[in-house]
Amino acid sequence: MKILRKEVFKLIASDEEDIKELLEYIELNTPDKNKYIKILKDSYGIEYGKHTDPDKVLIEKANLNDIKTQNEFSKYSNYVKYAQRLFKLRKIKYKENINLMIDPKLVQKLVKPLGIKVKFSPTLSFFKAHAYPSKKIIEFGSEVDFVWVESLIHELGHILYYEDPKIAGHIAAHPTYSITKYGLKNNKESFSDNFAVYFTQPKILKKYVPEVFVNLWEIIKKYTQWKKVILNIMKHSYILKQ
């Protein structure tokens, strides 16, 4: 491997590529190692240590103007940490809409056009819900007087995500664009939470992750029946008075 020349630094457009290359040369333990460590600190503000690795550099240098993909990380756990860092940078102020309800007796009727079945199980507590996408089933606790609309749409999102594998490639399914902390877990939860908030709290989504709002609009316009069903759910929902 050739020793990196000063001219190369001027030609590399991406800071991350530059940093990765510097780290590679430092790890070679060449006579110029200290020089590269100094460049790393002076040019990029990164202190080199025995635990320095490209993933941690990406996390440390995270910014909302240059969001990285999962493929750029060697470990998924580091990608999640990176997504968490971006979430903090956005300073998102989101609260689950627990006051928006719908009558459980209406739910099965409203989702029937999508071929989805709703079950109420004694094994689930009243505030829990679970989707079985391959079976097109959504399950709620049996002793419920109401169903949280945001939770219902979240579970519908899981089924849509399963039915269209291409959704995983959209930013609405990337933890780095999640509107909620829960969505930072993985692509499925990120999409389902973003999907739910798109309908229940669109202003929040527009404010903090406008690109996701636009992305979901593009996705949903292809699924007219899904949109019709969910808007009908919203129409039949009510606000719980405290």
Nearest residue to 54 via CA among 13, 4, 17: 17
Cα–Cα distance, 240 to 242 (Å, whole number):
6
Domain locations in the chain? Answer: 6-90, 100-239
Q: What is the pLDDT of residues 54-112, one digit of tens each?
A: 888 899 889 999 999 999 998 999 999 999 999 999 999 988 777 899 998 899 999 99
Q: Give the pTM.
A: 0.79
Q: What is the pLDDT of residues 103-162, one digit of tens each?
A: 988 999 999 999 999 998 888 776 788 999 999 999 998 767 889 999 999 999 999 999
Nearest residue to 161 via CA among 196, 126, 128: 196
> CB neighbours of 60 closer than 8 A, spacing ≥ 6?
46
- Cβ pair 80, 181 in contact under 8 A: no
Copy the structure tokens of residue 112: 């029937």
pLDDT at 194 over 60: yes
- Cβ pair 174, 70 in contact under 8 A: yes
Task: Give just the sign of the alpha carbon dihedral 40, 46, 49, 51.
Answer: negative
Average pLDDT along the chain = 87
